[in-house]
A and B are shown apart, each in its own frame.
Chain A
Amino acid sequence: MEQAKIQAFGDELYEALVNREAVPPLTSRADDITIEDAYHISLRMLERRQQAGARIIGKKIGVTSKAVMNMLNVHQPDFGYLTDDMVFNSGEEVNISDRLIAPRAEGEIAFILKKDLTGPGVTNADVLAATECVMPCFEIVDSRIKDWKIAIQDTIADNASCGLFVLGDKAVSPRDVDLVTCGMVVEKNGSIISTGAGAAALASPVNCVTWLANTLGEFGISLKAGEVILSGSLVPLEPVKAGDHMRVDIGGIGSASVCFS
């Protein structure tokens, strides 16, 4: 795909993000977008956000469950960038009309790194050794593509459909919790709506971070000490609207909650 078109799509998604107005799927308007093109589009969108003052504070991994892989007909995850304007603390209110278009909440485990990770060749042991702590987290995904009508290229171009994220009330050393079997319970307005466990994301959230470090390594990008890495949803996505209250509890890790207005 030619550079001008990549830039135009990146600019269009940036405008969609800022104005909270979704655009038709890119893949419905250009049938030659490759996965690599899509990442270049996402980088253009990121560049515009950085020009407007946003600072990168981490990365997210998406498409980590079999259900979503089947839906998008792919066999690998994707990733996006987290910036300082995307983070909320547990208990804070998120105003949907200010920030989001068609938000959905997903419960995840966030990794906070204490050392850089540079692929290729990163192993799960490297990831655990480089992890300061893990935290409970809601990722509020959102799509700048109209009605979430996404192909894999659309979501990659759109920063992996990331909206914002809510970090929980506790930080636990990865030495003290089994990240594969830790259970997750998600409640919406006081009712339990789903349960899951760490293995829902690529059989282990650690596998997800390892994948990201090695994938980014091919492009000369490292995961940096201090960064937040969202490792992928452990439960089905849940659409949310103003007035909803979401809570997630993770066995041995802690909880996070968020109110939408």
Chain B
Amino acid sequence: MTVISAEKIIIVSLCYFALIFFVAYYADRRRRMGRSLLSNPHIYTLSIAIYCTSWTFYGSVGKAATSGLDYLPIYLGPTLIAFGWWFLLRKMVRVSKEQNITSLADFLASRYDRSAVLGAIVTLFAVFGITPYIALQLKAIAQTLDILFLPLKSLPEPTSGLIPYLPGQIDSAFIITLLLGLFGILFGARHLDSSERHEGLVVAVALESLVKLVAFVAVGIFVTYGLFDGFIDLFQQFHQRFPDRSYLFAVGTAEVPYTKWFTLIIISMAAIMFLPRQFHIMVTENANEEHIKKAMWRFPAYLFLINLFVLPIAMGGLLLNHGDTTQADYFVLTLPLGANQPWLALLVFIGGLSAAAGMVMVSSVTLATMILNHLVMPVILKLKLRAQDLSGILINIKRLGIVGVVLLGYLYFIVIGDSYALVNIGLISFMAAAQFAPAMIGAIYWKRANKYAATWSISLGFAVWVYTLLIPSFARSGWISSDLLQYGPLGISLLKPLELFGLSGFDMYTHSLFWSLMFNLGVYCMVSILTRQSDAEKKRAIMFVDVFVDQDQPDERLTRISKAPTIVEFVDLMSKFIGEKPAQTAISAFLADKEIDHRGSLNDQDIFSLKTFTERTLAGHVGAGSARIILENYLAARGSEMENIFDIFGSVTIDGAISREHLSVLYDVSQLVSSGDSFQSKLDRILELLAEQFKFDLCVIRFLEPKTRTLLVKSLVGETFNHFGKSERNLSNETYIGQAFLSNVTMVVNDTDELEKPASSAIIQAEGITCFAHLPIVLEGEPVGILSAFSRSGKGLFTIEFIALLENIAGQIGIARRNEQQIGRLVLVREQEREMQIAKEIQMALLPASLPSLEDIQVAGLCVPAHQVGGDYYDFIIRKDGRYDVVIADVSGHNIGSALIMAETRTFIHSRVDGINNPAAMLQALNDYFLKDLDRSDLFVTMFYLQYNLDDHQLIYSNAGHNPPLLWRQKVQQIEPLDAEGLIFGIHKKINFEQKNTRLEPGDILLLYTDGIVEAEDSHQNLFGQERLEKLLSEEQQSTPQELIDQILTQVRLFTGYRHFNDDVTLLAMKILK
């Protein structure tokens, strides 16, 4: 046999990994440039072939050589189900795109009432179920390395310390584990990606799929046509040499009974759809539904090709190894080695490495996403971590998750891996995936299926899986005592894991499939039928099952959020979890087609869809369950509540019982409620309508007066004696109306001869009333008033249907009341806003309207308040003697108080400028003046004051704690900050303001600014800073002052990512021309 040097293997492997990484990196770059490689259906098909792991690559031949054709059903099942992808897979893809689903666990959690518990359970089981499979891949790589390094050593033997340069304790599998974990992080968790799509990863997987196919087919051709003379020759030689092994080509044998064959087909069908990595590649990473069509036949064709040479290689291996099957799992590798084909063997090794690496990378990324979203997030949310921006922590948790999952696989491999043939470990994972099948298929085809059913069926299915498959595999590897298998737990033979309830005579997979699906499916159906869904869950079910039916979701229109958060608050919430920039991008996409009113807010319906949108966006990052918890907690914390808008026809069943007349009254009332009339006239007209249509003698609406706790008449229609209808009512259970209000139920008396409340009976009978009803008017669950209707002409007027109608009308009156209150609040807000607007206009007028344009100097200034009014101030004063005073000041805060201080500052300066000749004296005077005012108001002022003399170009200046202005010296091409000693106003009585002077030359630029510029923050809390400002100034030295200011403002906005500033921003630039 040929020996390939370790160096060669390591170098080739590393080169190969580098190639894959380069391809992945290239794909990511293409995506960013908008020319995605995933628009190619070939890549989608090839990436699905991640199904073929090292188990296929090495294990199939091993299986074919030892037990026969039972490697085939693993690929026949997927071929069969691929036929239905256009219906099944496309539906899963469509649902996932619409719901922003990130993983299999998210899909289930999302469908079943966004249940966080279900998400966590699925995640746990997926991790448990997939770990053996990852172990299997590590084992394959480690063993092939062994074969390459030490071909003469007899195998299999425990792998240890095989890479020659490494110390004995570290085996090659461990190195590979770490490498694959690193790759998972590089491809899958470089940054938190919305919607969990990783283009680079997919393209890398597709490339690996191509490589493994090429490698396997190459070996196949080499064995079939190089070592032997074609298929027929192989079969003939085999028959001659091993006439007793014809069972390898038959089904229904002791090795491959028909039941096992059937079992394998079923679980492989489940595995291709519901293994988390398959779900990820096929559903989450699907770029275009049309690709499914192509994949439907191309993927089975791939499977066919990769299986075509399994039998020839197996037979070739047996023929050349004299029937020895101990190394059958690695015939693919040992045959080229034995035939002195080192390069072919190396290609095979790379193929196997591809098969294993792709699976481990995608699985670990997928599982880490699930762990993050369904195990870690709920805990984070429970703990209510108050961090400003969680996105940084989340990505690191995800990275940790990837390494954790791979290491778990390694642990399994160390503990149990060596005792089992490759293929058996894989089947354990397949069976785990099959446990998701009922809940997954039910999710998109059975509306009635609910979360209890899904939670219990999956849990039970897994319990049976653990008991009938995982525990026996532990026992067989000697990890736990095999007594359990032989005698059952505590000697109860009925509970033997491999012959549960006495079911014997089947292989362990069939046995496990039968029992696990029996419990799983049984509980799923039973619980679904026996328990009820909440309204919210019903909605989710419809979204999933009827995804292809055009839905105009009526429910959204009927729900609103009371005390709804504003757009900004929603954005802040999103930023916390996904980072600020993505949140801004998302919200602008959402707002693109929405109408925003003049107050910058949305109407009720759009706010509700914004809530849904926020939840969906968050779901793309943290999963549906967590997203729901986040929003619910958030809304609850703010005191916001979801409430139903009154559905005018919702509570009335339209059958024979309701007359056309009733319907038209309902319609008219709803028209009245939504009309532009005043509240009072709405109420009056509703009562008129009732009295007229239903011949009531008296209709009254009373509302609660909270101070006196009495019901006051708001509107009344009809005749009344003795002020019966007009009087107020106390709240007590003694009267019908009081009881109706206090217990929030409709009170009906159809015959006043049978009154039970003596307090009411006298007056009612005196009025001649024969029947009446009191209906509570409810607002946000609380009664706020009563609608009463009285009749003198007949008894038994109030039938159940009629009461339902009146209740409906009472509900609509509640809406009218709420609208009225809201309008009241709106008017108030608008008035305040108008006042602020006036204040703003006055304040802006205090700043110089235009700056003088002179021959010698150019000046430009700008002030952008953060809110309507601000505390920034700048000014430019021309003295009679040709000196110019320039001042810039910043009053802390940006409210009316700051604005008043700013106005006071200006008045002081303007009135005293003639008497005070230099900056230091001016600051001194200002400080004395402000000392008391500022002390009382908790405000403080910083100011920079300078005076420029055109004649001698001298500049004198003083500073009261303001940011030092920047001076660009044209001659030396340098920036010099102008600073002078001095404290902010309002702290000390005696402050010594230093006065400095300097000379300005033509080309010099002086830039004064407030801290709003240098303290502008980007999303990572980085400050814009003085350095950036200085850089800008030196770059823009040729510009005019106005251009300079505009440029600075643009750059600061670009830096923060906002148009809007958090603090007032003021800039003043002066350029010396002569």
Q: A and B: partners? A: no
Hey, which bits of chain A sit against chain B, CB under 8 A? none
